[in-house]
Amino acid sequence: MFSWTEQDLNPEQSAAILQPDSVFLVACPGSGKTKTLTYKIAYELSCLESERNYVIAITYTNRAADEIHERIESLGVDASQLWIGTIHSFCLEWIIKPYGIYLPELERGYRVIDQHERERLLERLCLPYADQRITYYDCDYYYSDAGYSLGCTDISKHPAINIILGQYFQTLTQNKEIDFELILWYALKLINQHQPISSLLSKIFPIILVDEYQDTKQIQYHILGKILRSGQGNTRLFMVGDPNQAIYGSLGGYPIPLAALRALTNITIVELALSQNYRSSDRVVQYFSNFNVYETTCDSAGDHRGYPSLITYNNTIHREDLVAEIARLIRFSINNLGIAPNEICVLAPQWIHLASMTRSLVVNMPEYSFDGPGMVPFARDIENFWYKLSKLALTEPSPLMYVKRLRWAGEVIKDLQDAGVSITMSRRSMLRECNSINVIEPDGLEYLRQFFNTLCNRLGIRLEDFAQLSESHRAFFESSQARITRLRSEGVEAISDISFFRKVFQNRNGITVSTIHGVKGAEFDVVLAYALLEGMVPHFSDANGDESAKKMLYVVGSRARKNIHLFSESGRARGRSRQYSPTEVLLACDFEYDTIVD
């Protein structure tokens, strides 16, 4: 039986793990949510009584899944009966792959398209509607159990968008393709139309754990709810998250009320909380608590709780002076406060704001490097075989990476077998094969192409013999080239260099640049956020503007351990004759901000 001491977990965390019923766990920022989830998984794995059972953990991102998986392995727990990944991966692995033949739309086979392919198809379908100023950005949609909903807030565009999406779905059907939203839709159809699926899965899964429940979509709740209801209490639920960080409403995510969750699953669910923040100083906690929407409890309890945090807000600076001021505060943090560069994060609401800022900071601060998920130079389609293989191609053999790379090698072998390749080699043999490949090539995309070709030749794999591998190979390189072209157009000239490619799977060592959405789950000593402007935070399309703005500001503030620097700069044009004004919720916050003078 997996166990721990009082030094490992606090009483709230231990109580959540040992609760025998299903748990609805509301966790404040920095409360050890990931650690609690990790220990809960380890505990449940140690309680399994059958080799046929699996502990299922659903995470919002693949990054979170990898982090938790690595923590489980570091605890010395056998993870062979753990499945962890995103809801899309779960639906593919456990519902669509084994049961897709029972759905007319999938019975002849399918291929999951990536974001680039989706955008390219929608761009073509939008061309006849250029006079209505409709672009593929307007064609975002998400599914609920009742069908799809449009993300576009301009109702006048809806008739045309529905026609475009009708053509889009028809094209996908003709090409035997599905996108990420259709993964969820078809999984729900299968599980609704074929009761034995949910009944069987409920017998295999003694527990389903869900991380970041506040970002879960209605259709996802229904898929998991069907399994839990079929289990009649035999499958338990462990759901954890923070409703104050529910910032994915525009994509359909929402924090389900406990009463609605109980009604959906028809199981006994106990509500618990994690209220001790071990990340931030007391002053930082006090600050972001000003934007608390759901009135949850958050008390500073960590080593930094007494830190004399600096919290600044500048709503008078002009856009032209913003880069210089952010650079000044970064240098002040490093030189005067001893903050490491990789503990500093620069945030903005959208990537369009970050592109020029990143270029300017690189020019103004050549002595530092900058990292960010938006600067990844190749397609991050986690279901694409070649993306999985790129992990082995771009990482070096080392003792610290061995367990992780061994797991990746297992995923590569499984995908090859699923594609019809007859391969019986072990994970270690695959790892040795990849480690022995020596490619000397400065261009990252060409490096990967040569690496892939070499490995296929050594394994005797002819791509033309395997349609699935061949098509995903084309999609990977086409999408990657489009991404590199876009980043180059934004001024990131060296993006194609192999050094940029290798950074993707390395621990960050530079100053992070990210959107507010992209930084969720991360933490830094210093957070700098700009473009905090009405119409951006909140976005002009948000129906609940004040609430949305509070949640965004709550996320920004709660990422910081020590210091926060916020900007609502002037000089950003909004149309031809207007300018953006400061975020009203932020402007109304009554707080004694600091002033920093070098």
Show Cβ contacts of residue 228 under 8 Å, excluding neighbours closer than 6 positions: 22, 202, 208, 235, 237, 265, 266, 267
- In this predicted structure, the answer to whether residue 598 has a pLDDT above a threshold of 90 is no
In DSSP notation, 313-371 reads EESS-BHHHHHHHHHHHHHIIIIIT---GGGEEEEESSHHHHHHHHHHHHHH-TTS-EE
The pLDDT > 70 percentage for the chain reads 98
CA torsion, ordered 303, 304, 306, 309, to nearest 10 deg = 180
Structural domains present in the chain: 11-96+187-274 (3.40.50.300), 111-175 (no CATH), 282-372+508-587 (3.40.50.300), 385-503 (no CATH)
Average pLDDT, whole number, for the chain? 92
The model's pLDDT over 132-163, given as tens digits with 9 standing for 90+, comes to 989 888 898 999 888 898 888 788 999 999 99
CA distance 204 to 321: 59
* 312 SS3 class: strand
Q: Which of 325, 362, 335 shows the shortest CA–CA distance to 566?
A: 325
Using alpha carbons, list the distances in angstroms from residue 154 to 158, 246, 247. Answer: 7, 23, 21
Q: How confident is the model over 321-332, as a mean pLDDT?
A: 96
> How many angstroms separate the CA atoms of 545 and 114, rounded?
31
Residue 364 has a pLDDT of 87
Residue 113: the pLDDT is 86
Strand pairing of 207-210 and 236-241?
Answer: parallel
Above 60 in pLDDT, residue 192?
yes
pTM, to two decimals: 0.87
Categorize the per-residue pLDDT at 210 as very low, low, confident or very high, splitting at 50, 70 and 90: very high
User: Closest Cα partner for 553 from 319, 311, 216, 303?
Assistant: 311
The Cα 532–Cα 317 span in angstroms is: 12
Quick one: pLDDT at residue 372?
67
| Residue 240 main-chain phi, psi, to 5 deg | -135, 145
CA 381 to chain centre: 12
Span 248-264, pLDDT tens digits: 887 788 899 999 999 99
Phi first, then psi, for residue 577 (nearest 5°) are -125, 5
Q: What is the pLDDT of residue 493?
A: 73
What is the pLDDT at residue 248? 85
Residue 147 CB-half CA count within 13 A? 5
**Surface-to-core class of residue 576, CB atoms within 10 Å of its CB (0-12 exposed, 13-18 middle, 19+ buried):** exposed
User: Contact at 8 Å (CB) between 552 and 535?
Assistant: no
Query: Taking 70 as the threshold, does the pLDDT of residue 375 lie above it?
Result: no
**How far, CA to CA in Å, does 52 sit from each of 7, 48, 205, 548?**
34, 9, 9, 44
Q: Determine the longest span between alpha carbons in the chain, in angstroms.
A: 69
pLDDT (average), residues 461-483: 90
Q: Is there a contact between 21 and 1 (Cβ–Cβ < 8 Å)?
A: no
